[in-house]
Amino acid sequence: MNKATAPCKDQLKSIAHRAMLERNLLPDFSAEVMAQTSSITKPAAASDPSLRDLRGSLWCSIDNDDSLDLDQLSVAEQLPNGATKILVAIADVDAIVKKGSAIDDHARTNTTSVYTAAEIFPMLPEKLSTDLTSLADGMERLAFVIEMEVGADGAVGKSNIYRAVVVNRAKLAYNGVAAWLDGTAPAPAPIAKLPGLDQNLRLQDRVAQAMRKLRLQRGALTLETIEARPVFDGDSLTDLRADQKNRATELIEDFMIGANGVTARFLEQKGFPALRRVLKSPERWARIVELAKDLGGHLPPNPDSAALEEFLEDRRQADPTRFPDVSLSIVKLLGRGEYELDLPGQKIPGHFGLAVNDYTHSTAPNRRFPDLITQRLLKAALSGTPTPYRNDELSDLARHCTDQEDNASKVERQVRKSAAALLLESRVGGRFDGIVTGASDKGTWVRIDHPAAEGRVVRNYKGFDVGDHVTVELVATNVDRGFVDFAGVRKL
């Protein structure tokens, strides 16, 4: 049996478990958490008379094919004035996961679900996240509803947030919906079965495209990076395959960006603090300018998202095959997003990549702790009760959530590298074309396409910088440590 296709899921699970511990993340739920979870036997019931009854609306979810931790639903309503009302329902996780409980303490420690090539480490026990707090297919659930009135130009006008009872009428998957919207496949069965859902989804798609067009005009960046997903045949890893955005992922992305903006402004108007998601102006702008110049473009000397988006669109049109490589280089040079405490009346940076000033995380409370924090702040703002978190506590949580998100990304990356090492260990001595994804005192890194893998250049890397296209030779792999080592051969 070839090493690359030998049973290996258990080996990768062991590596993932160790990586979680090394990065101060809890891979397992404690006995106290499991006992508390066992005591929860049903979803939260509707008891508040202020809850709106929206069970009859054509709500649907669009997510990955295998996702069960469903955080949001959407539906559209055409208005007489030519605008469209978009409603986004977010699972009311706080209705079951109470602040200070054992379950909440675990979520507060990890702050995010961790998705590795071998195993998912959910932020909440799966009995909750994939069932009792999930907006599961056909199930009656409590939700926060974020309502946006979107004009024909894609601008969000009037908005509101309230709590409601909803039912997911159709569980849909990105690829199936995208193929149908593009006209390359028939409607997925749930769409064909439910009268009116096809027209509603086409309306949602038109609105999302208008919202995206407006964001791009304002300087939002159309970055298209490649995310590698493992492919298993039983317990045998056979490939790391790249996922790419499509029309359905864009629909959800634009609605979530809009909903997060509405949430941030709502809390500010109510005089409440918030955990804003920010991406500051890139410190390595000079390298971005240099990279653009190498590709025949021109950028101003100071950070300018609109100019950068114009350059990116030119590159997408000129060379769509290599555009993900350009995107990856820009992503690395932009730096990472952070959480910051926003107090009423205070001015903090916006999100450079999304070209928005008001942005929080609120739409994935089953998977991200900042969203659960935001949900609790919303609940207090709606009921007129005091904020459930002190300002100093929120400031500490902002730093902690940023750090743990970074740790989770490192775990996911480490396990991806171990998976790549498994696939590549029989190909030592082979040569690959790739792109430099990192170049600093900490090392030089290159990503290759087949399989979609990243490794360190351990020698002959002088002169390599982010965005360079190079040829490298595979010199060694170490599955346990997740090492894929290359030697530089030449720049392309």
pLDDT digits (tens, 9 = 90+) for 82-93: 999 999 999 999
* 108 in any annotated domain: yes
Q: How many structural domains are present in the chain?
A: 2
Sign of CA dihedral 91, 96, 98, 103: negative
User: Hey, is 27 helix, strand or coil?
Assistant: coil
| Nearest-angstrom CA–CA distance, 15 and 292 | 39
pLDDT digits (tens, 9 = 90+) for 137-173: 999 999 999 999 999 999 999 999 999 999 999 999 9
Q: Is the pLDDT of residue 492 over 70?
A: yes
Tokens at 375, concatenated? 């949900």
Whether 287 maps to a domain, the answer reads: no
- The mean pLDDT value for 284-303 works out to 89
Question: Looking at the structure, do residues 73 and 190 belong to the same domain, yes or no?
Answer: yes
Residue 355 gets which letter from DSSP?
T
Tokens representing 130 are 């994939």
Peptide bond before residue 451 is cis, with ω within 30 degrees of 0: yes
| Confidence check: pLDDT of 1 > 60 | no
Residue 137, beta-bridge partner list: 168
Taking only the tens place, the pLDDT of each residue in 244-256 is 778 999 999 999 9
Q: Both 397 and 461 in a single domain?
A: no
Q: Does 362 share its domain with 485?
A: no
Check which CATH number belongs to the domain holding 479 and give it: 2.40.50.140
Q: Domain end: 418, 445, 462, which one?
A: 418
Start-end of H helices in 335-475? 369-383, 391-424
pLDDT for 4 equals 47
Give pLDDT, residue 225: 67
| Alpha-carbon span 54 to 464, nearest angstrom | 56
Q: What phi and psi, each to the nearest 5 degrees, are found at residue 316?
A: -60, -45
Q: Where are the alpha helices (DSSP H) in 274-390?
A: 285-294, 305-318, 323-334, 369-383
- DSSP category for residue 348: -
Work out the widest C-alpha separation in the chain, in whole angstroms. Answer: 69
Residue that has been written with the tokens 């999930």 in this structure: 134
d(CA 223, CA 354): 10
Q: Residue 216 — pLDDT band, cuts 50, 70, 90?
A: confident
Euclidean distance between CA atoms 286 and 56, whole angstroms: 54
Counting Cβ atoms within 10 Å, is residue 430 exposed (0-12), middle (13-18) or buried (19+)?
A: exposed
316 or 377, which is more confident: 377
- Between the alpha carbon of residue 297 and those of residues 14, 26, 465, the distances in Å are 46, 46, 18
Using a pLDDT cut of 70, give the percent of the chain over it.
97
- Decide if 284 is inside a domain: no
> Of 371, 399, 418, which residue constitutes the final position of a domain?
418
CA distances from 76 to 5, 58, 82, 178, 477 (A): 46, 8, 13, 18, 51
My answer on whether 486 and 362 are in the same domain is no
Q: Is 400 found in the same domain as 360? A: yes
Q: What is the pTM of this model?
A: 0.86
- Checking if the pLDDT of 34 tops 90, the result is yes
Residue 26 domain flag: yes
**CA 208, CA 369: separation in Å to the nearest integer?**
26
54 contacts 145 by C-beta, under 8 angstroms: yes
Q: Are 348 and 464 members of one domain?
A: no
**Nearest by Cα to 123 from 26, 37, 39, 40:** 26
User: Once rounded to an integer, what is the mean pLDDT over residues 391-418?
Assistant: 94
359 with 460, same domain? no
Question: CB count, 10 Å around CB of 457?
Answer: 25
User: Does residue 318 fall inside a structural domain?
Assistant: no
Whether residue 441 is contained in a domain is answered as: yes
Containing structural domain, residue 453: 428-492
- 423 versus 163: the higher-pLDDT residue is 163
**pLDDT, tens only, 295-309:** 889 999 988 888 888
Q: Do residues 357 and 475 share a domain?
A: no
Question: Are 434 and 395 within 8 A, CB to CB?
Answer: no
**Does residue 434 sit in the same domain as residue 371?**
no
460, two tokens: 């002959």
90 and 137 in a single domain? The answer is yes
- Could you say which of 418, 450, 474 is where a domain stops? 418
Q: CA–CA separation, 342 vs 316, rounded Å?
A: 36
Q: What percent of the chain has pLDDT over 90?
A: 65
Which of 106-110, 298-302, 464-468 is most confident?
A: 106-110
Q: Which of 143-152, 228-237, 447-456 has the lowest mean pLDDT?
A: 228-237
379 near 99, Cβ under 8 Å?
A: no
Among 73-82, 131-140, 290-299, 327-336, whose mean pLDDT is lowest?
A: 327-336
Structure letter (DSSP) for residue 80: T
Q: Provide CB contacts within 8 A for 228, sequence distance 6+.
A: 240, 241, 242, 243, 416, 451, 452, 453
Report the alpha-carbon distance of residue 415 to residue 412 in Å, rounded: 5
Note whether 221 and 92 are same-domain residues: yes
351: exposed, middle or buried (Cβ count in 10 Å: 0-12, 13-18, 19+): buried
Residue 413 lies inside a defined structural domain of this protein: yes
317, part of any domain: no
Lowest-confidence pick of 180-184, 231-235, 485-489: 231-235
Query: Could you give the CA distance from residue 319 to residue 313 in angstroms, rounded to a whole number?
Result: 10
Could you tell me if 94 and 210 lie in one domain? yes
The first and second tokens of residue 396, run together, are 């500490």
